[in-house]
Structure 1
Amino acid sequence: MKITVIHGQLHKGSSYHITNQIINKILSDDKEVYEYFMPSDTPKFCVGCYKCFNESEDDCPQAKKVQKIVRSMELSDIVVIDSPTYCYAMTGQLKTFFDHLGYMWLSHRPKEAMFNKVGIVVSTASGAGANKVTKALAQQMFWMGISNVIQYSKSVNASSWETVTDKIKGPIAKDTSKISIKAKAKVGKASPNFRLKFMFTIMRMMQKSNDWNMVDKNYWEENGWLDKKRPW
């Protein structure tokens, strides 16, 4: 079993520790984890050059960093993304990474490998807003073809993991056990939900009439998605 973990921040705070609990509790004899930290593994800001859309994702000025993570995601059974809550949103470092993945959204060139993966998104806050972050992360996954996403948000009432009380850590430990079991059970069985299939159909219709970006249209044609073949 392969797992890609993308941390939205470099420091190892509450979001990191909760994610780490989940990963450690996913029991597998052949577990292999690819782990990335923002901002050390973050590509530089997207400059809007459109090369990923109009030419190839490999022509992006930041392709070396971006594609290393993308390849890990493609190889993995489970993709985990966590982020602390910054001003009711994900970290800027993580958003910078997502800005580079627009080319692989459903509306452009989604990766076939993404449609049968399990996603887990985690966010914590010292106060409110963590649920907004997990919804935003799940939305990013959806547009990349992952609809089987487990969301976990938690207000820890503390600015560091060390100061989170045992009263809060106890339920978190139980929750992470449940999440790990649920995620592992979905591996090999995950498939797109109705909403994702419906959106894929809408994008398929759009690509059939696409006369503005032949890179995208050719991609859909080569995969057979404009005919009867589907990526699931």
Structure 2
Amino acid sequence: MTCLDELIKIIKTHYELEPVNTSEYDGLKINGMCFDIKAYEAKNLGHISVMTAKGLFGLMKMDTIIFTPSEADLPLLSYDRIKVMGNDIMIAELFDTVADTDTLDNLDRLEALVSKYDYLPYRDTGKHWYDDIKLSGCMSFKGKKKLSSTFNALAKEYLETYLSLPYAVVSDVALKKQKTLNYVNDLIENGGPSTNVFIKAIGKEKTKKLFYQVLFGV
């Protein structure tokens, strides 16, 4: 069982998943990368998408999970795991899409978890347009294959912690949706590594459709 399979198994212990039709994107290939994209509605949470990509004759593999809570007032979480040329990269980023800022007080649990692994090789994330809405409790590490088992353990513990965070049911649905839309719209307009690849390959309008309907479910 791969780490991604184990992460999905953890999600299913917390939420009932209803698959979203993503058949339009079956067999999607971009720049030599083959994509497999799935999406789900998680009862009492919101939208979850899972994307894997393989390329470079098997030398590169990327797993992505995006949590876009709409019912639970949790921050948006984007998780990426990239294995390429003997390197293993793991990134988890939290974005402020909450309607009630009291929710953010609970992120110290993720901060404490990440600090336990501060011996891992840190990956500099650089400066980005979204830094102002990026929250504490994020992580970014890069190491060699020998660290993959440790990365796997951290990924599972991180996801379990995120899904176990106390939260309120969204009371201001309009505000929650607008903050999420703002992030997705800015992502499309300002770009990012994966976003730029999609826009260049399939155009902005098709990328919008993919992001709105499948990756973020907004």
Normalised-by-shorter TM-score class? 0.3 to 0.5
* Higher alpha-carbon Rg: 1
TM-score with structure 2 setting the length? 0.33
TM-score with structure 1 setting the length? 0.32
Greater share of strand = 2
